[in-house]
């Protein structure tokens, strides 16, 4: 079940989403040792960040809510770690989430001289107090991509927030096609959801008065819709990574039918830890075998209409 993203080969399509358990050196080494097909880092900023006050992540009935606030080691430390992570012989993807254009330019330029395989530019962090999600501002996204695509020597893709309106998909797809990004990752957590504990009559995470990014089963139909729409609208050489609410091999199969070449695990990884990669890959193989498919390309994008 091998696949590839921007020409970088993956032994199978399943690896971690930027977010859970990928911020520290120890966590990245554990991903190296796990069955994940790539190592993705937590989104990095110029400087180290402690993130938002705790509690800032909570498992809820059908998923999770978080407002982490980009806790990370700062990009220089991730660059230092790349040589030792290479021993796991899987692609290394650095997620970049500079707090302004200049920061993104600095980090992306520095990554040019490393052995990172791919860059995922995060245009969709919903949890920074006072900062809107960039990818909801089409003009600003356009100008950021103009600047960073000039600099990037590594294949660069973008992590997008969920869109809900066909016009917005069309506007963003036209920007991404024009800039010839190498891949897109759909979707980041729908931002600013609110979960309430009715017994305590209280919010469940501390930052932003309880508002945070929603993950898990709630968001699979939104993730599938975004992958499908971008599959329809993007140039064929832009690869799509699906993320959102994947718990089983059947969920992976649905994302591939919608058009994804690979998938990432977020909430399920946080809840089940490293065993989820092996379990879900095995379940996905079983679905493929039961249906008589031998490769991802036989299935990818082949969703039937009624």
Q: Is 264 in the site for ligand DHB (CB under 6 A)?
A: no
Among 20, 32, 69, 210, binds ligand DHB (CB under 6 A): 69
Q: Mind giving me the DSSP string for 117-165?
A: -EEEEE-----STT---GGG-HHHHHHHHHHHHHH--S-EEEEE----S
Q: Is 97 in the site for ligand DHB (CB under 6 A)?
A: yes
Quick note: the x/- pattern for ligand DHB over 115-134, rule CB under 6 A, is: -------x-xxxx-------
Strands 202-203 and 262-265, sheet pairing: unpaired
Nearest to ligand DHB of 126, 245 (CB atom): 126
Q: Does position 3 bind ligand DHB by CB under 6 A? A: no
Task: Please choose, from the candidates 245, 254, 190, 280, the residue with its C-alpha nearest in 3D space to the C-alpha of residue 62.
Answer: 245
Shortest spacing between CB 223 and ligand DHB, in angstroms? 13
Would you count residue 245 as binding ligand DHB (CB under 6 A)?
no
Q: Is 135 exposed, middle or buried (0-12, 13-18, 19+ CB in 10 A)?
A: buried
Q: Which of 3, 43, 45, 267 binds ligand DHB (CB under 6 A)?
A: 43
Q: Which of 70, 79, 111, 187 binds ligand DHB (CB under 6 A)?
A: 70
Residues assigned a catalytic role: 125
Residue 145 vs 257, nearer CB to ligand DHB: 145
Give the side-chain half-sphere CA count within 13 A for 224.
18
Binding mask 134-173 for ligand DHB (x = CB under 6 A): ----------------------------------------
Distances (CA, A) of 174 to 131, 177, 180: 24, 5, 10
Among 213, 216, 242, 259, binds ligand DHB (CB under 6 A): 213
Q: Least distance to ligand DHB from the beta carbon of 66, Å? A: 6
**Nearest to 58, CA basis, from 215, 252, 219:** 215
Q: What is the DSSP letter of 219?
A: G
Please give the DSSP secondary-structure letter assigned to residue 259: T
Query: For residues 226 and 89, is the Cβ–Cβ distance under 8 A?
Result: no
Site for ligand DHB, rule CB under 6 A: 43, 67-70, 97, 122, 124-127, 188-189, 213
């Amino acid at each position: 079940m091998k696949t590839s993203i921007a020409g970088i080969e993956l032994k199978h399509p399943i690896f971690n989403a930027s977010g859970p358990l990928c911020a520290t050196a120890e966590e990245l080494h554990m991903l190296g040792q796990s069955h994940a097909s790539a190592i993705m880092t937590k989104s990095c900023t110029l400087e180290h960040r402690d993130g938002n006050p705790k509690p800032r992540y909570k498992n809820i009935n059908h998923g999770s809510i978080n407002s982490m606030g980009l806790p990370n080691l700062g990009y220089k430390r991730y660059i230092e770690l790349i040589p030792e992570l290479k021993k796991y012989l899987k692609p290394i993807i650095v997620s970049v989430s500079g707090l302004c254009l200049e920061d993104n330019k600095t980090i992306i330029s520095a990554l040019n001289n490393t052995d990172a395989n791919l860059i995922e530019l995060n245009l969709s962090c919903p949890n920074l107090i006072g900062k809107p999600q960039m990818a909801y501002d089409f003009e600003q996204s356009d100008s950021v991509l103009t600047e960073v695509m000039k600099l990037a020597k590594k294949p660069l893709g973008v992590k997008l927030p969920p869109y809900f309106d066909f016009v917005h998909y069309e506007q963003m797809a036209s920007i991404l096609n024009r800039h010839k990004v190498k891949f897109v990752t759909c979707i980041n957590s729908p931002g600013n959801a609110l979960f309430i504990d009715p017994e305590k009559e209280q919010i469940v995470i501390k930052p932003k008065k309880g508002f945070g990014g929603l993950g898990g089963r709630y968001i699979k139909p939104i993730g599938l819709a975004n992958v499908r729409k971008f599959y329809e609208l993007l140039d064929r050489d832009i690869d799509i990574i699906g993320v959102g609410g994947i718990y089983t091999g059947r969920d992976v199969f649905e994302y591939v039918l919608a058009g994804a070449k690979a998938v990432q695990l977020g909430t399920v990884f946080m809840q089940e830890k490293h065993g989820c990669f092996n379990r879900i890959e095995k379940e996905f193989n079983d679905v493929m075998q039961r249906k008589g498919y031998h490769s991802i390309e036989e299935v990818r994008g082949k969703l039937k209409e009624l």
